[in-house]
Structure 1
Amino acid sequence: MGIYYGRRKEKRLRITQSLAPAASAAAAAPVPDDLLVSEILARLPVKTLTRCKSVCRSWRAALEDPSFVRRHLELSRTRTPPSALVIPHNGGDFLSRCISFHRLRSPEHTATDAAAAAATAELMLEAACPEEIGCGFVPSHCDGLVAVAGTRGHIFVCNPATRKLCFWPAAAIGYDPWRDRYVVCRYFDLSTEPFFDEATGRETSYWRLGHEIFTLGGGGGDSWVETDPPPPPGRHWPIGELGAICVRGDFYWLSYTAAGAAGDGEAEMALLRFGLRDAKFDVVRRPRGCTCRRRTPSSSDDGYFYFTDRVVDLSGKVCYVHAPLAADFLELWQLADHDQEWLPRCRINLLDRGIVIRKEGFVPVYHHGEDMLLVLDDEQLYRYNERARAIEEVANLERELEEYERQDGTDTLEYKHYVVPYVESLVSICSSNYIIKEPIETLLMYSN
């Protein structure tokens, strides 16, 4: 990929020389164009790259090339320490029409100075939305794209780094490795049907569900494609407010079964898996002994259902988080590569730290090296070292954002905060700028 050598040659030479140490004559030689793009520019943040596009036409062409978009994403995934995205919510029925995204840079575990040892929050984007953003639905994320549910059945899809956003019907976001596309999946209620539960001997009803998939950036006919419904009818209900994860081309929805669909107490949990390769559903059974209480066990029960178990993606592994309400422990199970059994990964003792799991749960955000970052009740961040089995608090999100006030005049002092892993990327929501070569068949027939 060449550099434009017309009038801009002198400007390009100055930029190249500024990158070289003055003390080394050998290092002052011009940097080869391919290394300049793939090893230097690809390591810069998106905000800087946006300015670099104005240097010359060849730089703009290089930075908009799909191979550069993929290279930048590849390097972002390996950047250390990892970062997370914080999305404030008020814990009520809905957010205001204003939403904000804050990048939280994790503290260095081995830092020797106070600045590096403290977590820092940076406002990336504040945006006004055409509808309220529902706070009861955990955002989903994939390669820098974040999906947040609205209150009228739509989804707010945003890339905070590029400051681009769009609206679609409510869905979960993921990557299809077989077709090299980013997609969103959604399930929806079709109708109610009578159902006799043999396990309980009770006649009840269930919502018959439908499921559709949409391809971002074109390539799917710019329309939703219906797939087979979640199986078996009447036996599993996805818990949409907990969101979904997408690992190696499979979506996983945490669900509860018909046996736990009525009344208080324990609900039988399972995972609904939707495979993008064959567009089919199957059921992954929960780890042994993992049931989930559906209501808050207190005299001030507000009548809402609370599920404190979660399914999370930790370094490309499907993990089940078993965190019973008011329990003094948290169990983490990992799905084996052959998908036939759950393996115990760790058990975190919370009693010594005085940690109490409340209705928002205690959820891992990401894993890096021996450390795991977890968020408690959407308020506090903890770091757990799996080898040493030690846990420590690293940040209070209310304090981190106490000086931030939104443009609509509201502040986030009393807010809680969704925390999701974050990888900065140039991936576009509206175009397939990461596709190096268009496939022969661009229309994805998922319904076949």
Structure 2
Amino acid sequence: MEDMVTEILVRLPVKSLLRFKPACRAWQAIIDDPVFIRAHLRRSASRWEQSHSFIINPHSMVRVPWDRWPVPSNRYRFHQWQLQRGTTTTSPRNNNVATFLHAKDLSDDQQFYTTEFTHRDGLVFSTTTTSLHVFNPATRDAITLPTSSRSNLMGGGRFNYHCSGLGLDPRTGMYKVVQAFFRFQSMEPAETKMGMEVFTIGGGGGGAGWREITSDPPYPAKRFQIGVSVCGYMFWRFSERHTKLERGILHLSLEEEEFGITGLPDELDTDNSFLLDELLGRDLCVSASNTSCTMLNIWTLPVADESLCTLWQWRYCIDYPWSLCSVMALPPFSDEIILLRGNNICRYDLATSKLKILCRLDRTRYQGEGARKSELFSAMPFIESLVRITY
């Protein structure tokens, strides 16, 4: 009987499961079981392949005394947008509404504003100019990580840069936040040394707090970036002053907490800009325009829990006469190439070589937002989950 109940519950969305938990102690025990949480996450991931879902944060722009231009406010407003099959730019089929998920207002502290986001297993990791945050928009849980005494990647004025990231340790099943700090800074690139530290979410007890990683990166990472997390590894770009020393990207094994270098595709001209993305947490993706900015090349690197493959696969070269964009999905996880270009989620049809806009983020109606106008948007693929976040 319990197996039958579990099989039914694992198919339900998070919102329904949260509503059912207080109704029955037996159901609550099932839903809170880590084994059930992972099974529900796997089903959510497989469901994403059939019906793509995206999380969007429309940033309100505010003026602050220390900045010349308006900056993103520190109020988080997470919405979910679902891709409906058959959507086109001329026939949206009522697909221009994003459902409200969660809001978190941090405006009591005017010393910071939001900067970057990333997503992993239903968790959203965000950096601000002074702090790091982890959210589960589906369960509406959120934590602000404690400040580290080692954090010293200073930006302009009173604010910090953050070279950080969120990923899953496949051995323990725990999520780790990693951030970098300088051990020693010098005008000479070869003399600058960087270290990193880790915060284990749900570490509890004496395990809570920032812990220094014993080994150091071979070269410093770029100090303003969020790492890309894939299958137990986290990837960052090296600082601009060190890219001439090493043609690759920095990786960290979250299980072993050891650093290494992953080579880039041989065909990639590293003098040109390129972007790193993750595809449904399984593959690392590099996208880069050609020299004339008329084509977009896309490579993927399969990443397994057991080892890190170094054989890049050149996947696509598409007509794309614009600036760089983020790759959100590729076949076989999608029927087409899904891209984020500016404020537009787009679909590149491989059969017709045409780019179509699926969602105009600045024209989407955001549930509960009223007439509020946003100028800047963060958007990424989203898989809802029951993953808990605690100190």
Q: Structure 2 length normalisation: TM-score?
A: 0.80
The 5-angstrom pairing of residues 428-443 of structure 1 reads 428-430=388-390
The 5-angstrom pairing of residues 114-129 of structure 1 reads 118-129=95-106
The yes-or-no answer on 1:157 pairing with 2:134 is: yes
Unaligned runs of 5+ in 1: 1-31, 198-205, 262-266, 294-307, 432-448
Q: What do the CA deviations read for 1:296-334 (whole angstroms, capped 9, x no partner)?
A: xxxxxxxxxxxx521111141111111469822211111
Give 3-state SS (helix, strand or coil) of 1:43's partner: coil
Distance 1:365 1:292, change over 3 A: farther
How much has 1:115 moved relative to structure 2?
Answer: 6.5
Alignment partner of 1:211 out of 169, 193, 196 = 196
Give 3-state SS (helix, strand or coil) of 2:79's partner: strand
Distance 1:389 1:35, change over 3 A: farther
Alignment partner of 1:392 out of 352, 356, 365 = 356
Where does residue 240 of structure 1 map in the other structure?
224
Kept after mapping to 1: 8 A contact 2:189/2:242: no
Q: What do the CA deviations read for 1:131-168 (whole angstroms, capped 9, x no partner)?
A: 4664443x12111110111111x111100011111111
Alignment partner of 1:411 out of 372, 375, 382 = 372
How much has 1:120 moved relative to structure 2?
Answer: 3.6
Distance 1:188 1:62, change over 3 A: same
Where does residue 156 of structure 2 map in the other structure?
none
Give the partner amino acid of 2:362. E
Kept after mapping to 1: 8 A contact 2:73/2:114: no
Give 3-state SS (helix, strand or coil) of 1:339's partner: coil
Which shifted more, 71-80 or 166-175?
A: 166-175
Which shifted more, 318-327 or 93-102?
A: 318-327
Distance 1:336 1:42, change over 3 A: closer
Where does residue 151 of structure 2 map in the other structure?
none
How much has 1:183 moved relative to structure 2?
Answer: 1.0
Kept after mapping to 2: 8 A contact 1:94/1:151: no
How much has 1:282 moved relative to structure 2?
Answer: 1.0
Give the partner amino acid of 1:290. D
Unaligned runs of 5+ in 2: 62-68, 148-161
Where does residue 58 of structure 1 map in the other structure?
26
The yes-or-no answer on 1:84 pairing with 2:54 is: yes
Kept after mapping to 1: 8 A contact 2:99/2:367: no
Give the partner amino acid of 2:177. V
Q: Distance between the aligned counterparts of 1:335 and 1:74, measured in 2?
A: 21
Distance 1:183 1:151, change over 3 A: same
Where does residue 98 of structure 1 map in the other structure?
75
Give the partner amino acid of 1:33. E
Kept after mapping to 1: 8 A contact 2:98/2:366: no
Kept after mapping to 1: 8 A contact 2:97/2:366: no
Q: Distance between the aligned counterparts of 1:329 and 1:62, measured in 2?
A: 50
Where does residue 187 of structure 1 map in the other structure?
180
Q: Distance between the aligned counterparts of 1:230 and 1:371, measured in 2?
A: 40
How large is the Cα RMSD of the aligned pairs?
3.1
Give the partner amino acid of 1:380. N
Distance 1:178 1:386, change over 3 A: farther
Alignment partner of 2:41 out of 63, 73, 76 = 73
Percent identity for Structure 1 against Structure 2: 26
Kept after mapping to 1: 8 A contact 2:169/2:175: yes
Where does residue 366 of structure 1 map in the other structure?
329
Kept after mapping to 2: 8 A contact 1:174/1:182: yes
Q: Distance between the aligned counterparts of 1:320 and 1:207, measured in 2?
A: 27
Where does residue 304 of structure 1 map in the other structure?
none
Q: Distance between the aligned counterparts of 1:156 and 1:325, measured in 2?
A: 38
Q: Structure 1 length normalisation: TM-score?
A: 0.71
Give 3-state SS (helix, strand or coil) of 2:256's partner: coil
Give 3-state SS (helix, strand or coil) of 2:84's partner: coil
Which shifted more, 160-169 or 88-97?
A: 88-97
How much has 1:348 moved relative to structure 2?
Answer: 1.7
Kept after mapping to 2: 8 A contact 1:185/1:214: yes
How much has 1:374 moved relative to structure 2?
Answer: 1.0
The yes-or-no answer on 1:380 pairing with 2:344 is: yes
Q: Distance between the aligned counterparts of 1:426 and 1:164, measured in 2?
A: 10
Where does residue 7 of structure 1 map in the other structure?
none
The yes-or-no answer on 1:425 pairing with 2:389 is: no
Alignment partner of 1:225 out of 191, 211, 227 = 211
Kept after mapping to 2: 8 A contact 1:402/1:412: no
Give the partner amino acid of 1:193. S
Where does residue 33 of structure 1 map in the other structure?
2
Instruction: Work out which structure has the larger RCO, using CA pairs closer than 8 Å and 6 or more positions apart in sequence.
Output: 2
Q: Distance between the aligned counterparts of 1:268 and 1:380, measured in 2?
A: 34
Larger Rg: 1
Q: Distance between the aligned counterparts of 2:240 and 2:202, measured in 1?
A: 35
Where does residue 14 of structure 1 map in the other structure?
none
How much has 1:216 moved relative to structure 2?
Answer: 0.5
